[in-house]
Amino acid sequence: MSRSSSRCGIGTGALRAIGAGVGMAVLVTALAVPHPAAAGPKTGQAVVAGRGGGWQSGPPGVDPADIRFERRTLRTGRPSEVGLLPGYVERLRTDAEAYLVPTPDHPGYPTYAGAVLLAAKDGVMVAHEAVGSAVKYAEVGPAPGRVGVELPADQQIPMRPDTIFDLASISKLFTTVVALRQVERGTVELDAPVVRYLPEFAAGGKQAVTVRMLLTHTGGLPAFAPLWSSYPTPEEREAAALATPFAAGASPGNQYVYSDLGLIALGVLVERVTGRPLEQLVAAEVTGPLRMRDTGYNPAAALRHRIAATEYQPYAGRGMVWGEVHDENAWALGGVAGHAGLFSTAADLAIFCQMLLNGGEYRGARILRESTVRDMLVNHNARLESGYPESDRGLGVELHKHWYMSGLASSVTFGHTGFTGTSIVVDPLSRSFLILLTNRVHPDRNWGSNNVARRALARDLAYAMPVRPPLGGTAWRADDRDGGSVTLNAPLRRAAGRTAVASFQLWYDTEPRYDVLHFETSADGGGTWAPVDVTLVGPGGRWTAEGSVTGYGGRRWWQAFAQVPAGTTELRWRYTTDASSRGRGVYLDNLLVVGSNGLLFSGETSDAPRFTQTGWTPSTT
């Protein structure tokens, strides 16, 4: 794992001991940064882009204070206009189509009947595609087969770019924005107890649960309750949601449990504070000012031909759900709830995403203050990470989720998913977003998740943003694979002498903790390996990684140095990944190893053919 080291790592003293051999000018120049003792910060610290600037401990990081909001109005354009690689943008449609049938990573059933995708960068929509069917099935056969019974061909409806989807839990983002507008007005306080606004919420001992806890899913509420089947009227269902006691063993603020019930309560809270129904608040405060004309609750029957069907629900007496909300509790609450119920299109959601990338404004309509948007993107659950690794959340939004954000993920990348198969990913660092709307529950939720497709398309957009080798030509790139271990080896011309230094350039962005690049040396021709510390140098500072790096690498190239132990015969870079989810990947370039006994390896010249690799390939991007 990348981390700040208590050891000094490599210093210029080690290079002086080598002498004036081949390549020394290059290495000494690269290390000519202010020495920590002279410049102020301690050894092992780094200047990194992020956290407000200045000297920082450990590897690079980024937080909401570093985001630059640029006001842009969406338009259609070509990938090259915003520096994207057209081939990867074209793969978005290809990969979306691939999941219309069973695949090795989603066997047995298609991932979804159809999908609409929209990708944009710097305000330019570079892809807006529709694949498959919006309405395909009439019902589902019995278990265990659960075979989909298709409608006659003339009754099936193809997906189109303006198909309207049941957003499911993406609805939570709109409830969040409405609530935060009340916070800005001073009518709601984030750290006030919910009972200040909803006295009946105190049932079950929940007096200490705050509004912030509802937004971050830390209030101790259970994930779900079958309100739709347990109570006869919408009024009784809402009352039961508010009166739900804590989950077993839970207490306010001390655990993370993703809870629909918390957002149902938040929806009721904003209704109570404003005296207006939630659907009117969303229309007046968000979708109306943003001109999101295809977004709302309980869509009119006249729009049914444009709406994607969802699930066959005979257990609820509904048949094939089409044109009304899929979520049983939202349906039983009249189609409008804080956690679900909203319908929309990819084009409308693009406006919502761009509004947030703009810092809360779009085409002159100010929806949120910039400071509020930044606060949305703070990881308010950071203290819970050790016990709840999936707890990273801002106010209402999910943060840093590689399981669907893939190579777009960072600590400030935000988004949300919906049970029906919908998702949005917004990356403020690249000023890009990806919308994937599918009807993956059509005809049956038991056909499986569409996370594999979410990751595949997020990877496509991430890879469309090139990583150029710093000196041109090609760099070594670790192959993109799950559950792998790939190696790049550099056999030295001769064993390293008393003093030797390796220099190379490194770019990395991986899933933290789970996908790791290891630095290793061998003194017996590759029979055994030992980790080696590597010092990474950037503008104005340096930090030392103790044998490996993982996670966010600053989305930049680092100059890396390692003191090579005497007797070393070979260097190795070993990249290991877990069974699913990846970041942007790992690149290495310009390896040079120089020792007191001369030039030991020159990867850009005569020694290039000496590299041996398993799972690394040359790449220009």
Catalytic residues: 169
- 260 by Cβ neighbours in 10 Å (0-12 / 13-18 / 19+) ranks as buried
Contact 100, 112 (CB under 8 A): yes
Helix (H) / strand (E) containing 534 = strand 534-538
- Omega prior to 64 cis, within 30 of 0: no
How far is 245 from 255, CA to CA, in rounded Å?
A: 15
Residue 411 makes CB contacts below 8 A (sequence gap 6+) with 61, 62, 63, 379, 392, 399, 400, 552
Of residues 139, 137, 141, 115, the one with CA closest to residue 128: 115
Of residues 451, 491, 468, 398, the one with CA closest to residue 580: 451
Amino acid identity at 237: R
Report phi then psi at 599, rounded to 5. -75, 125
How far is 412 from 373, CA to CA, in rounded Å?
A: 11
Decide: helix, strand or coil at residue 524. Answer: coil
Both tokens assigned to 158: 């193809």
Of residues 492, 425, 483, 431, the one with CA closest to residue 457: 425
Of residues 529, 446, 453, the one with CA closest to residue 490: 529
Both tokens assigned to 252: 């306010």
Both tokens assigned to 2: 């990348």
How far is 455 from 597, CA to CA, in rounded Å?
A: 48
DSSP-assigned beta bridge partners for residue 571? 490, 521
How far is 252 from 394, CA to CA, in rounded Å?
A: 17
